[in-house]
Homo-oligomer: A and B are copies of this chain.
Amino acid sequence: MQLYNYYRSSASYRVRIALALKGLEYVYKPVHLARDEHLAESYAAVSRSRLVPQLQDGEHALSQSLAIIEYLDETHPEPPLLPKDPHHRAYVRALALDIACEIHPLNNLRVLRYLVRDLGLSEEQKNRWYQHWVDTGLTAVEQRLTHEGLSGAFCFGEQPGLADCLLVPQIYNAKRFNCRLDHLPTLMAIHDRCMALPAFSQTAPELCPDAD
Cβ-based interface call for A33 (8 A) = no
Chain B positions within 8 Å of A74 at CB level: 86, 89
Residue contact B48 to A143, C-beta cutoff 8 Å: yes
Contact partner of A66 among B50, B97, B106, CB < 8 A?
B97
Residue contact B106 to A111, C-beta cutoff 8 Å: yes
Query: Considering the complex, which residues of chain A in the window 116-147 have a beta carbon less than 8 Å from any beta carbon of chain B?
Result: 118-119, 121, 125, 128-129, 132, 140, 143-144, 147
Question: For the complex, would chain A's binding face be called helix, strand, loop or mixed by DSSP majority?
Answer: helix
Cβ-based interface call for A62 (8 A) = yes
State the Cβ distance, A113 to closest chain B Cβ, in Å: 12
**How long is the Cα–Cα vector from A87 to B101 in the complex, in angstroms?**
23
Residue contact A106 to B104, C-beta cutoff 8 Å: no
Q: Which of A50, A93, A94, A128 counts the most B-chain CB atoms under 10 A from its CB?
A: A94
Contact partner of A64 among B51, B101, B114, CB < 8 A?
B101
Cβ-based interface call for A167 (8 A) = no
State the Cβ distance, A135 to closest chain B Cβ, in Å: 12
Chain B positions within 8 Å of A121 at CB level: 119
State the Cβ distance, A67 to closest chain B Cβ, in Å: 4
Residue contact B101 to A129, C-beta cutoff 8 Å: no
A interface vs B, CB < 8 Å? 48-51, 60, 62-64, 66-68, 70-71, 74-75, 86-87, 89-91, 93-94, 97-98, 100-102, 104-106, 111, 114, 118-119, 121, 125, 128-129, 132, 140, 143-144, 147
